[in-house]
Amino acid sequence: MPDRGGGPTGPRIRVGQPSRRVRTLLMTLGVLAVLAMAFVMFAGFWTDWLWYRSVHYSSVFTTTLWTKIGLFFVFGLLMAAAVGFNIWLAHRLRPPLSAMSMEQQSLDRYRMGIAPYKRWLLLAITSLVGLIAGASASGQWRTWLMWVNGVSFGQKDPQFHLDVSFYAFDLPWYRFLLGFGFAAAVLSLIAAALTHYLYGGLRVTSPGARATAAATGHLSVLLGVFVALKAVAYWLDRYGLAVKSSDFKATGNWTGLRYVDANAYLPAKTILFCIAVICALLFFATLWRRTWQLPVIGFGLMVLSAVLIGGLYPAIVQKFQVEPNEQAKEAPYVEKNLKATREAYGIAGTAVQDYPGASDTEDKAELRDDADTVASIRLMDPNIVSPTFQQLQQVRNYYAFPSNLDVDRYSKDGKEQDTVLGLRELNLAGIPKNNWINDHFRYTHGYGVVAAKGTEADSEGRPVFTEYNLPSKGDLGSYKQQVYYGEKTTQYSIVGGPQKEIDYSDDSGEKTTSYQGKSGVSLAGPVNRAAYAVAFGEPQILYSGAIGEGSRILYNRTPKERVEAVAPWLTIDGDAYPAVVDGKIQWIVDAYTTTNGYPYASRTTLGDTTADSLTAANDQRAVVAQQNQVNYIRNSVKATVDAYTGAVKLYQWDTEDPVLKTWMKAFPDTVESKKSISPDLLAHLRYPQDLFKVQRELLTRYHVRDAQTFLSGSEVWQVPDDPTNKSGSAVPPYYLSMKLPGESSQAFSLTTTMTPNGRDNLSAFVSVNAEAGTPDYGKISILKLPTGRTVDGPKRVQSQFNSEPSIAESIRLLRGGDSEVEYGNLLTVPLDGGLLYVEPVYVRGGDLKYPLLRKVLVTYGGNTAFEDTLGEALNKVFGAESSTAPPEEDTPKPPATGNPTVQAALADAQKAFDEGQEALKKGDWKAYGEAQKNLEEALKKAEAAQAEADKAAGGSGADKNTDKNADKNADKDTGGDAGKNGDSGSSPSPGPSAEEGSGSG
């Protein structure tokens, strides 16, 4: 119409709408936001791909990625198609609109409102359900790969006589498909019902029929599909009984069929399957009958049958048939559970032999000599002496040892020696100044191995180091000492570029290096730098001048996370340990294949069964995938991680494991054959602690083979709590070189004790041969103590130690002043029918913030000794001296509580040292100079006091030289290096001195 107004001319201004410039700006910002989100997603994908390519496991990344993508699209499209088709069909079957009721008139507004957007709405709904279904399905990539690549176990379950692979690989996939089918049926039913209601096919308040014939037929078919799927579920539930967990009052956790399952639930599931099939056919018949009368009746009968047959009938059988004679009824099924559980956890070959618990040998001299040869008794507790390693061998504050050291064995002069060792790993908290360059470019790695004899201490209670100083030297020979990958190395580092790295410092000053390995991802290109800047949330990576030609970024640096990343189908042991192998430091990682689908084998939760007093105090020792419930486990893979290059290698250790064979089919060329393990590496492989902890927990109940005994519970054992601390957690198993009764030589073993359920006397001593490459490797032996005699367990032995008046008085004296007493590992050793208990006792004296071995507790046959050395304690317990021990004068005796004058001087030295470090941090050079002067005076006093004490005691020149050299080293380290480098020094390194002046611990 023409403009009839006389108002002003010119362009119209639309009130409430943004201008073109604002709209352009908003569109630009929106596009930029979308691009930013896309780049963030790309950065995550791209950095993952680069990392997998850098470790040469790109096939793991691509196989996993394509499997996830395939499952996402296949099941996403199937769900979208199912829901979309039923919406379309319901719309197509809508009735023609005629007389409108009030209900239809109100719905008409909605119909008109969505009419222009029907296609878009349909696309949105199907896309949403497709995305959700696809994302859920992509998470089942492990289930799919195991189903596709599954191999036979060669064993059949005792109930259905199907191969175990059906339960481990097939049944989980069938259950996923069934769950997906249920979800598709329910969503399609809901979508179709809503569409029929919206377009008049279903009426709630309108007069006349509640549903059109078309709507009735459509919805009946969908209900029929749902009931048919329920029939399939009933059929699969029959097989699920073989892997069903239940609480059985006689034995606790139970997996597999019991009497009520085999005689009530199993026939009930078969009957319900038949009823469900008939009910589904009745629903499908409504396509012709157009009435819901029969299907509804059938469905009601199915529900009633599920209650009566599936619930009430088994309860009646349990109450009136099983409970009156439970042991007789359940015994055949317990036999199956016993056999399957022992096979699934690798404890079927456990050898049980009776052990008297007391010696009948009257020759005390013979017992004393046997005590020297039965075991290499470890006095250096790896879980106690880490602070001692830290104080004596840290050398620089930017190095640190793990809180729990490791036990390994090394050969010298053809003789095996149990060794406690740890790596100097990078400690960012100890560098002089924290900033981005120092944290990620200059301080990038640790340096060297520190090792000590496990069975000895020197005259002052310090470890006898066999590898020491910086750079490390000693018995381990020449090897690559830089530690770029370790348990404490969790931050990323950028190496190999223009910025030099601090390698180590010695008397001549600071040494620098540049990483020469091929590990890590190149940051040469702008795309890689941008991707890592986004992935790590660190924009400086993008523009920092410290990054240039040759720069590489190292991350995922702990051994456990590297192995888990390249083999996500493995469960990783909680304790990776280092070893010097073929001139390199290698981290050795034990890895497990598991399943929870082994029929009749009882389940266990890894996090619970592998927990002990060490994991309670150290999260790093926790097993990966702690919440996993499994009922089959094998140490099928031994993995190594190079501490310098980060190279990961997986070795097939269990060549018969069908689960590993399945994963090797899914990820070909990722696991090397067992033959590829070098002899040097084989010498350091050992039986893993976490597997043994799982097995010992199962052996508390499954050491018996008789169903009646198992059901009675009279032979149930328990793993005792650690008596040496108040954590309330289980005692950890201990590595120990020892020989069992009937054996001619010592074998490196993993040992533990068992007590009766709820009591503190000893039930059994359990050990496993941990020495890889020997015929008996993995053989579990149980020495079963008599039930008619009370043999003291660890807790009672510890209580006796603490309650003995003379020992209690000695402990009180050791605790004098600011000293603290720490109990080491309580070791149990079978000896001539009895049990020898040995426990080292450490003292943290005053300002000396590290434990030193001061006493050894020993008990055997009711006799207890608390002496300065193990030899003296054994002599006292047996009332005889060893015929193989060195002469007494060749073994210097440390004073029980140390020379007071020397201790006071050393305390003054420690105080002056601490004051100097504090002044150094504050930049107070005057105070620092005074502290260094006080330190020098205190060390001179200590040297003079020690010399006087040696003179009075007739000490040897070697001991004097030891103290003098240690004092000089301490003075040089704490004064000279700290002043030159601006770095805090550490206490003296007693490497060769400790070895020269060593005595029997």
Task: Encode pLDDT of 625-668 as tens digits.
Answer: 777 889 999 999 999 999 999 999 999 999 999 999 999 999 99
- Between CA 791 and CA 799, with CA 795 as vertex, the angle to 5 degrees is 100
pLDDT score, position 921: 54
Query: Structure tokens of 348?
Result: 């079927």
- CB-based burial label for 895 (10 Å; 0-12, 13-18, 19+): middle
State the Cα–Cα distance between residues 213 and 217, nearest whole angstrom: 6
Ramachandran bin of 804, using left for φ above 0, alpha for ψ from -120 to 50, beta for the remaining angles: beta
Instruction: Please answer whether residues 835 and 860 qualify as being in contact, where contact means their C-beta atoms are separated by less than 8 angstroms.
Output: yes
- Say whether pLDDT at 806 is over 50: yes
- Segment 515-562, tens digit of pLDDT: 998 899 999 889 999 999 999 999 999 988 899 888 999 999 999 999
Q: How far apart are the first and last CA of the chain?
A: 111
Query: C-alpha 918: how far from its chain's center?
Result: 38
**Is the CB of residue 243 less than 8 Å from the CB of residue 172?**
no
Return mean pLDDT, the chain.
84
- What token pair was written down for 763? 């039930």
> How many CA within 13 A on the CB side of residue 599?
26
509: left (phi over 0), alpha (psi -120 to 50) or beta: left
Name the token pair of 54. Answer: 């850098």
| 131-135 own/partner pairs: CB under 8 Å, 24+ apart | 131/76, 132/79, 133/75, 133/76, 133/78, 133/79, 133/80, 133/180, 133/183, 133/184, 134/71, 134/72, 134/73, 134/75, 134/76, 134/77, 134/79, 135/72, 135/76
Of residues 609 and 102, more confidence is placed in 609
Q: Answer for the pair 413, 423: CB distance below 8 angstroms, yes or no.
A: no
155 Cβ contact partners less than 8 Å away, ≥ 6 residues apart: 163, 164, 343
484 neighbors 646 (Cβ within 8 angstroms): yes
**Cβ burial, residue 326 (10 Å; 0-12/13-18/19+):** middle
Question: Going by DSSP bridges, is the β-strand pair 351-354/780-784 parallel, antiparallel, or unpaired?
Answer: parallel
pLDDT at 253 over 80: no
- pLDDT range class, residue 223, cuts 50, 70, 90: very high
Which pLDDT belongs to residue 947? 63
What span, in angstroms and rounded, lies between the C-alpha atoms of 858 and 75? 66
CA distance 852 to 457: 9
| Helical ranges in 817-863 per DSSP H | none
Residue with tokens 């998470």: 139
Contacting residues for 755 by C-beta, under 8 A, at least 6 apart: 717, 718, 720, 761, 762, 763, 793, 794, 795
What is the C-alpha to C-alpha distance for residues 984 and 982, in angstroms, rounded to an integer?
7
Name residue 792's beta-bridge partners. 761
Q: Which of 459-463, 477-481, 797-801, 900-904 has the largest mean confidence?
A: 477-481
Tell me the mean pLDDT in the region 778-805: 87
Q: What is the mean pLDDT of residues 149-173?
A: 94
Pairwise CA distance, residues 80 & 127, whole Å: 6
Structure tokens at 292: 């819901």
Strands of 596-712, DSSP E? 604-605, 629-630, 632-642, 648-652
Kindly state the tokens that stand for 90.
Answer: 């319901």
Handedness of CA 561, 566, 569, 574 (dihedral sign): negative
pLDDT value at 769 more than 90: yes
- Dist. CA 193–CA 203, nearest whole Å: 11
Q: Is the pLDDT of residue 586 over 50?
A: yes
Asked if omega into 95 is within 30° of 0 (cis), the reply is no
d(C-alpha 289, C-alpha 341), whole Å = 54
- Reported as type and span, the H/E element at residue 65 is helix 58-92
- Residue 449, strand partner residues: 423
Lowest model confidence (mean pLDDT) among 67-76, 210-219, 689-698: 210-219
Q: Say how far apart CA 679 and CA 571 lie, in whole Å.
A: 26
Q: In the predicted model, is pLDDT for residue 58 greater than 70?
A: yes
User: Bigger pLDDT: 467 or 936?
Assistant: 467
Of 665, 629, 828, whose CA–CA distance to 740 is shortest? 828
- Whole-Å CA distances, 733 to 614, 627, 684, 719, 776: 10, 21, 18, 10, 19
Planar angle of CA 187, 188, 194, nearest 5 degrees? 90
**Distance in angstroms (rounded) separating the CA atoms of residues 686 and 298:** 62
Q: Are 766 and 781 in contact (CB under 8 A)?
A: yes
Task: State the pLDDT at residue 943.
Answer: 67
Determine the pLDDT at residue 557: 93
pLDDT of 291 over the 60 cut:
yes
Residue 382 is classified by DSSP as: T
What does the pLDDT look like over 831-850, one tens digit per residue? 988 999 999 999 987 666 78
What's the pLDDT tens digit per position in 966-996?
343 333 343 333 333 334 333 334 444 333 3
- Is 233:192 a contact under the CB 8 Å cutoff? no
Which two three-digit tokens encode residue 732? 């950890």
- Residue 276: closest CA among 237, 240, 228, 220: 228
| Contact present, 428 and 446 (Cβ < 8 Å) | no
Rounded Cα gap, residues 437 and 432, in angstroms = 12
Tell me: pLDDT of 66 over 90: yes
What residue has token string 């201990």?
A: 734
Give the DSSP H or E segment for 148: helix 141-149
* Secondary structure in 3-state letters for 487-516: CCCCCCEEECCCCCEEEEEECCEEEEECCC
Give tens-digit pLDDT for 721-731: 888 877 778 88
Structure-model confidence comparison of residues 315 and 69, the more confident one: 69
Closest to 992 in 3D by CA, of 465, 471, 506, 507? 465
Q: Tell me, what's the pLDDT at 911?
A: 73
Q: Distance between CA atoms of 693 and 66, rounded to whole angstroms?
A: 37
Q: Is 942 helix (H, G, I), strand (E, B) or coil?
A: helix
